[in-house]
Amino acid sequence: MNVGFIGLGAMGRHMAGHLLRGGHQLGVYARRADSAAPLVAAGATSYETPAKLAAASDVVFTIVTTSSDFEAVALGADGLIHGARSGSVVVDMETISPAVARSVAQMLETKGIDMLDAPVSGGPMGAEQAALSIMVGGKRAVFERVQPLFACMGKTITRVGDSGAGQVTKACNQLALLVTAQGVAEALNLAQRLGVDPAQVREVMMSGIAGSKVMEVFGKRMVEHNFDNGIDTRLYHKDLGIVLDLAHQSQLASPGAALVMQQINALMGQGKGRQDLASLITVLEGMSSSGSKT
């Protein structure tokens, strides 16, 4: 297929590269030429605007940052809607509001353009290894058409429902991940406070029912105080805001999300928004340190 890609950051550049190596004709759009340069050198074509990219593509993937970023790329003055042909497909793979995903899908549909919301889980490593989990909302026929492209980027590819369902699933994923990360941070901080090696405590927990991917990945970084890798905390802050908005709109209690948001707010206030989520443990360590002085 002729495939377009927008969002060539830590994850997007790997995902786009897999599509290119999968034998597809790849077009890219990037605000900074240096972001697209490696892919162009590998055979991709660079376009000046999202509209021009869309005009040359059967399917355009985006993995930008926020709901407003996606709206601008899709519907802005030079957005995809102004170039995409009837029958083409737009796939948003960033984590955004389900309401925005549905709204943009409706706008595109007026031009005969299909859309899937297909956020991912797996982080930069999953993107590099083409091992992402992809949760997809949209029409089944459109999903089946795009599935060979998803297979270039991920291992677990699931249509979870109609438009917006992919983003709802991702919100649920982030809620579970973040509440679990808070629990891991509290457990390891408690071990440290009581004079037991948190690295050994983590190893024991990994072999029992408390073991999890979050314990494996983020717990290791917490023990090592390695906060330079992974996904920026500021992005989890954005995602958790979506979760709390959904809970508020649905009049549902989400006390775990509210608690973790306060911890992440503290990190953001300390200027640690670009550190890995594992830096959650530093908030607890700071609280422990303050308590020991009283």
CB 29 within 8 A of CB 47: yes
pLDDT at site 176: 97
Mean per-residue pLDDT for 158-172?
A: 98
CA atoms within 13 A on the CB side of 101: 29
Whether residue 293 is predicted with pLDDT greater than 60 in this model: the reply is no
Which pLDDT belongs to residue 290?
A: 62
* Residue among 52, 139, 155, 170 flagged as catalytic: 170
Kindly indicate the confidence band of residue 291, based on its pLDDT and cuts at 50, 70 and 90. Answer: low
Q: What is the pLDDT of residue 294?
A: 46
| Dihedral angle of Cα 128, 133, 134, 135, to the nearest 10 degrees | -160
- Residue 256's pLDDT is 97
Q: What is the mean pLDDT of the chain?
A: 96
Q: What is the pLDDT of residue 20?
A: 97
Which of 237, 95, 250, 120 lies closest to 178, judged by CA? 237
Confidence of residue 288 (pLDDT cuts 50, 70, 90): confident
- Cβ burial 252-282 (10 Å sphere, 16+ → b, else e): eebebbeebbebbebbeeeebbebbbbbbbb
Q: What is the pLDDT of residue 41?
A: 96
Per-residue model confidence as pLDDT tens digits over 71-128:
999 999 999 999 999 999 999 999 999 999 999 999 999 999 999 999 999 999 999 9
pTM: 0.94
What is the model's pLDDT at position 104? Answer: 98
**Amino acid of residue 280:** L
* Phi, psi angle pair for 43, to nearest 5°: 125, -5
Rounded to the nearest angstrom, the gap between the alpha carbon of residue 205 and the centroid of all alpha carbons in its chain is 27
Mean pLDDT of 169-195: 98
Active-site annotation holds for 170: yes
Indicate whether 168 pLDDT > 70.
Answer: yes
pLDDT tens figures, 39-69: 999 999 999 999 999 999 999 999 999 999 9
Closest CA to 223 of 282, 178, 169: 282
Chain CA centroid to CA 119, Å: 6
**Domains of the chain (ranges, CATH numbers):** 2-161 (3.40.50.720), 168-292 (1.10.1040.10)
Say which range, 68-77, 79-88, 139-148, 221-230, has the weakest mean pLDDT.
221-230
Output 152 or 33, whichever has higher pLDDT.
Answer: 152
**DSSP states along 103-170:** HHHHHHHTTT-EEEE--EESHHHHHHTT-EEEEEES-HHHHHHHHHHHHHHEEEEEEEESTTHHHHHH
